[in-house]
Amino acid sequence: MTHPTDIRAFLDRPLTIGGRIVENRLFLAPMAGFTHVAFRQLVDEFGGCGLLFTEMCSAKALPSENSAVSQVFRWRTAELPRLVCQIFGAEPETMAAAARRVEAEGFFGVDINFGCSVAAICKQHAGAALLKTPEKAVAIVRAVREAVCLPVFVKFRTGWTDDPDSAVELARRFEDAGADALVFHPRVSPDRRSRPPKWAYIGRVKRAVDIPVFGNGEVFDAGDVSRMFSDTGCDGISIGRIALARPWVFAEWTGGFFPDAGIYHQGAHRMLDLLVCHYEPVVAIRRFKKWAVFFTAGFKYGHRFSAVIRTAKDIAGMKEAIDEVFGCCQEMTARPNMNLFR
């Protein structure tokens, strides 16, 4: 089994993206409903994350979005130098206007979402739906590139059929259109997260372009980190669900942080405090409950724990539930429970 100190040789290397330096090669992936300002602060407090990605933000809404009231387009000034705003939309001009706002606010970069395959997004012909019309996807990348100087990321999947050749071709076209980095999730769009991602395709995308390529998909432990780097030659890794389950994982893998037995108890309380600090109580409770399902996925009795948390009705009740669930030592599993991790 790979020890975290071994993977630091891969992860703790700076990288230049679009002329800007990133401290290390491990990113927090964008996750709607989860990578909000409170969760990102929790990750930041543990440390070790190269770049943080926001939840996906609607490009249509962004130019006039009020960040004081928006649920998703909200940030802390301190995180801006490492924060990438993900946008989704269907039209090049709309995406360009959103990217201008992202740049004006001082984010590190903007990320174009061609990965989301949920019906509500695809119906708008946004997210992964754009992989069906490569011309339009490329036009969006070009329009965003022309609109801003900050680093432009493109997040995409294999496509709608299991055809790595077209993913490779598309990667080249995104690079030609001016993308500064690619984040590739090697699954077909109809398969949200049920079958294993095909990491070999990440290697093919990486070899086809000169810009940095970040691999994504089911990197859950240090052994996975090491295998993804060595099997694909990728420049870095974007992690999603394991960061929800272990917000300190960046610090563990890049900084040699060794969590103790009380970390879940402490982490859960801190998450709740941060949610309360950034959101109305009702939103804080709702977001905490959603997160708790992933946070308990590494526990042997995770199902039972998230059920206890679901019953809490207010902040005081939630604090009691946290003490009940995390206040004593719990048995962990080697890998997260995939039923809780979908």
Q: Out of 65, 79, 180, 218, which residue is the one contacting ligand FMN (CB under 6 A)?
A: 218
Q: Out of 239, 245, 284, 293, which residue is the one contacting ligand FMN (CB under 6 A)?
A: 239
Site map 287..306 versus ligand FMN, x via CB under 6 A: --------------------
Place of tokens 């496509």: 159
Burial string for 247-285 (b: 16+ CB within 10 Å, else e) reads bbbbbbbbbebeeeeebbbebbebbbbbbbebbeeeebb
* Residues between 81 and 140 with contacts to ligand FMN, criterion CB under 6 A: 86, 113, 115-116
What are the tokens at 254? 């890049």
Other C-beta atoms within 10 Å of 1: how many? 8
CA 199/CA 203 separation, integer angstroms? 7
Piece in contact with ligand FMN (CB under 6 A), picked from 77-85, 90-98, 238-246, 256-264: 238-246
Nearer to ligand FMN, 299 or 341 (CB): 341
- The dihedrals phi and psi of 51, each to the nearest 5 degrees, come to -140, 145
The catalytically annotated residue of 116, 122, 328, 329 is: 116
Site map 184..213 versus ligand FMN, x via CB under 6 A: -x----------------------------
What are the tokens at 234? 């990728």
Contacts of 19 (CB under 8 A, 6+ apart): 151
Piece in contact with ligand FMN (CB under 6 A), picked from 27-35, 60-68, 223-231, 296-304: 27-35
Q: With CB under 6 A, what is the number of residues at the site for ligand FMN?
A: 22
Catalytic residue status for 234: no
Q: Hey, what's the torsion of the CAs at 102, 105, 108, 113, to 10 degrees?
A: -20
DSSP type of residue 80: G
* Residues between 134 and 173 with contacts to ligand FMN, criterion CB under 6 A: 155
Nearer to ligand FMN, 231 or 324 (CB): 231
Q: Out of 2, 12, 13, 32, which residue is the one contacting ligand FMN (CB under 6 A)?
A: 32
Q: Which residues are catalytic?
A: 116
